[in-house]
Chain A
Amino acid sequence: MTELIKTPRTGETLPVKAGKRTNPLANVFDELVRFAQSRSLFMLHYCTGCGAIELPPSMTSRFDMERLGIQPMVSPRQADILLVTGYVSVKTLKRIILTYEQMGSPKYVIGICSCTVNGGMYWQSYATAKKLNDYMPVDIYIAGCMPRPEAVIAGLRELMENIRQGKADSWKDYYRHYDHYLGHQQRLFGETWQTPTDVIAEARHYGLFGPDTLGTHTALLEQHQRPLEALEMKVDIPELMARR
């Protein structure tokens, strides 16, 4: 493997510290909110690969994730955690990004198994993406091939602790450095890649619009972006049409 060179990007903003508000009462309130958030997490498990096998025992009575307040959720709109379990093929990655962008903030991404960290045993496969955190900010990696339910629970506890301390704010990075993530996505999917979510408008909405939100890649996106149109409602059943 060729040597990896770290090239820091220009205009890097400093890591944001968990801000404490001056009003002590507001402080207490914030802590309460964070505590409540950490104790009630809905998890969207995007089971891409073999790691999904470890989730049923983690969720059900043997290891029982629900005693920590973590429950599976069926839709991305209502989920807090996006759990990516296993290898991510290029086709799947598109769907994961769509799913991730649909989730409401605050949102946390957990990459389970070695494959999400570095491609794992598929490191030389043309079809699998290697580093999940090139395409979306990842909060916790749970390494292993595959990790046992104990490790999954330990990783989730670490996420809970980070949320309680206000340290799990990687999701903000997607808005602050959208250009960086979009660049990686475009490199893989081509220049015409676009998602239905207007991330830049969302960044403005959350107040997370920064100097690195826009860049060369978002300029490219604007060139190719087609406005979203509602799908035409069509009924193609002749019998129904005849009845009308």
Chain B
Amino acid sequence: MTKDLSTWLDTLLDELQGIEVRRKSSRRIRVDVQPDALPALLELLRGRASYVHLSAISCVDWIEENEFELVYHVWSYEIGSLVSAHTRIARDPGVYISVYDIYTPAAFFERDIHEMFGVFFEGSPDMSKFILTEWDGPPPMRKDFDSEAWVNAHFDFQDYQPDWLKEIEAKGGGVAVRPDEQRFSRRDVDAS
């Protein structure tokens, strides 16, 4: 039965127009699909072809092409293979449709992607903050977010202390820090 399903799926995917199917290995299929056809494909995979497990939704920021790539990884326990459905959406409004009605766990992945990349999923039950509850900057996983610049603007770094290394080598353990020697700021805190 399992083999039937697998062959049946292969035939069907080959018949469909507008999607590109690449078999990476016997247990991995990559499908490239247009954004408006992706929910239908997932519906088909889940409803008819036993791909009941949504492992993850990942997002890639292709800043030069001005696009976000969303990858839906679905797994079938019966066939034992993973289908990765790739789709690309425009980066600018960054709005896509939720697949919460097909896969319930999608709510968490979509919430996470919304937080990290700023992609809004229409129809997702909750788009509020997830992990970065105390973050009010831009979505940090976008390619145009300069993490290093943000770090330099918000944190000070420790000076290079060659004596500390000698101290560690001599004692094999800790370095005692005097607060008076450490009270400096690269940026003047009061000026900010």
The 0/1 profile, CB within 8 Å of B marked 1, for residues 146-172 of chain A is 010011111111110010000100100
**Is A158 within 8 A of B176, CB to CB?**
yes
Q: How far is the CB of A16 from chain B (nearest CB, A)?
A: 9
Nearest-neighbour CB distance to chain B for A87, whole angstroms, equals: 13
A12-37 contacts to B, CB under 8 A, are 12, 15
Asked if B16 lies at the interface with its beta carbon under 8 angstroms from chain A, I say: no
User: B66 on the interface (CB 8 Å rule)?
Assistant: no
Q: Known contacts A5-B186, A141-B175; is A130 also within 8 Å of B158 by CB?
A: yes
Closest chain-B Cβ to A88's Cβ sits at a distance in Å of: 11
Decide: A187 and B192 in contact? CB cutoff 8 A: yes
The answer to whether A45 has its CB under 8 Å from any CB of chain B is: no
Majority DSSP secondary structure for residues of B touching A: loop
Q: Are A187 and B174 in contact (CB under 8 A)?
A: no
> Per a CB cutoff under 8 Å, which of A143, A167, A177 touches B168?
A143
CA distance A66 to B151 in the complex (A): 39
Q: How many of A's residues come within 8 Å of B, CB to CB?
A: 57
Asked, given contacts A124-B147, A125-B147, A170-B179, whether A216 binds B174 with beta carbons under 8 Å apart, the answer is no
Q: Chain B nearest CB: distance from A91 CB in Å? A: 6
Residue in B137, B151, B159, B189 whose CB lies within 8 Å of A184: B189
Nearest opposing residue in chain A for B161, CB measure: A117
Contacting chain B: which of A73-81, A132-140, A221-229, A235-243? Answer: A132-140
Could you write out 6 A-B pairs with CB less than 8 Å apart? A123-B151, A130-B155, A130-B157, A138-B177, A158-B171, A188-B155
Residues of B within 8 A of A (CB): 132-135, 137, 140, 145, 147-148, 150-152, 154-159, 164, 168, 171-180, 182-186, 188-190, 192
